[in-house]
């Protein structure tokens, strides 16, 4: 049976593919570029991570009629009422400008002491096959530090220290980050569900 991952991001595909392989799931996981030569760009118009994941999964399913998984991730900072949240990728106004997004967030938090800098990364994965959508959520709690550390990772990784760790996500090797990350937790829940999916 085939399952389609609604992403053009090869790193995301490899991460999920390796977890499928580990669990020996009886599915062939496909990325978008394995089913089409066209660049599929889907506008994320939802007001929540759940809505955006569903928009992507449903649109791609409707195009190819293959059960589809899609995800959306946000960083939620307690002191800012959950911002940047669903707007994490375009917090500075330009989609995907990671450096400006981090700069804006650090500026908003400049007067907050470390104990008031609680945050969490949250990933929501949606599985859509033309029937009722299924959602799987993974959360990683931590704190936003005062300045950037580390050169690995992307997004807000260089200013986020997960709970019970000293290093930022950007100072961790990929394997270490993937053991505790929000996305990894959501993928694990998806895989548990897929073990009984027909």
Q: What is the pLDDT along the chain (198 residues), one digit of tens a residue?
A: 899 999 887 778 888 888 888 888 888 999 999 999 888 888 888 999 999 999 999 999 999 999 999 999 999 999 999 999 999 999 998 777 999 999 999 999 999 999 999 999 999 999 999 999 999 999 999 999 999 999 988 899 999 999 999 999 999 998 899 889 999 999 999 999 998 887
Where do the domains of the chain lie? 2-194
Task: Concatenate the DSSP letters of all residues of 58-122 into one string.
Answer: HHHHHHH-S-EEEEEEEEEEGGGTT-EETTGGGTTSSTT-HHHHHHHHHHHTTT--GGG-EEEEE
Positions annotated as catalytic residues are 72
pLDDT value, residue 3: 96
What pLDDT, on the 0 to 100 scale, is given for residue 43?
86
Measured at the alpha carbon of residue 7, what is the angle toward residues 154 and 91, in degrees to the nearest 5?
45
Q: Would you state the pLDDT for residue 73?
A: 93
- Output the pLDDT for position 171: 97
pLDDT at 115: 96
Q: Are 120 and 82 in contact (CB under 8 A)?
A: no
pTM of the model: 0.90
Exposed/middle/buried for residue 52 (C-beta within 10 Å: 0-12, 13-18, 19+): buried
Q: What is the CATH number of domain 2-194?
A: 3.90.950.10
Give the pLDDT confidence score for residue 94 in this predicted structure: 79
Residue 62 token pair:
């409707």
Question: Which of 16, 137, 11, 7 has the alpha carbon at shortest distance from 59?
Answer: 7
């Amino acid at each position: 049976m085939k399952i389609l991952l609604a992403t053009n991001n090869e790193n995301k595909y490899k991460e999920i593919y390796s977890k499928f392989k580990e669990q020996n799931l009886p599915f062939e996981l496909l990325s978008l570029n394995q089913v089409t030569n066209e660049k599929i760009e889907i506008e994320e118009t939802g007001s929540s991570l759940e809505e955006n994941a569903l928009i992507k999964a449903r649109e791609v399913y409707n195009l190819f009629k293959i059960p589809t998984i899609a995800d959306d991730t946000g960083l939620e900072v307690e002191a800012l009422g959950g911002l940047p949240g669903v707007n994490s990728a375009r917090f500075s106004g330009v989609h995907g400008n990671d450096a400006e997004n981090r700069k804006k967030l650090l500026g908003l938090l400049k007067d907050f002491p470390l104990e008031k800098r609680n945050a969490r990364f949250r990933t929501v994965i949606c599985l859509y096959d033309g029937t009722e959508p299924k959602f799987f959520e993974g959360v990683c709690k931590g704190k936003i530090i005062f300045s950037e550390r580390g050169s690995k990772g992307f997004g807000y990784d260089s200013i986020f220290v997960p709970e019970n760790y000293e290093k930022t996500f950007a100072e961790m090797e990929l394997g270490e980050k993937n053991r505790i990350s929000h996305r990894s937790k959501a993928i694990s829940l998806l895989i548990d569900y897929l073990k009984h999916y027909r």
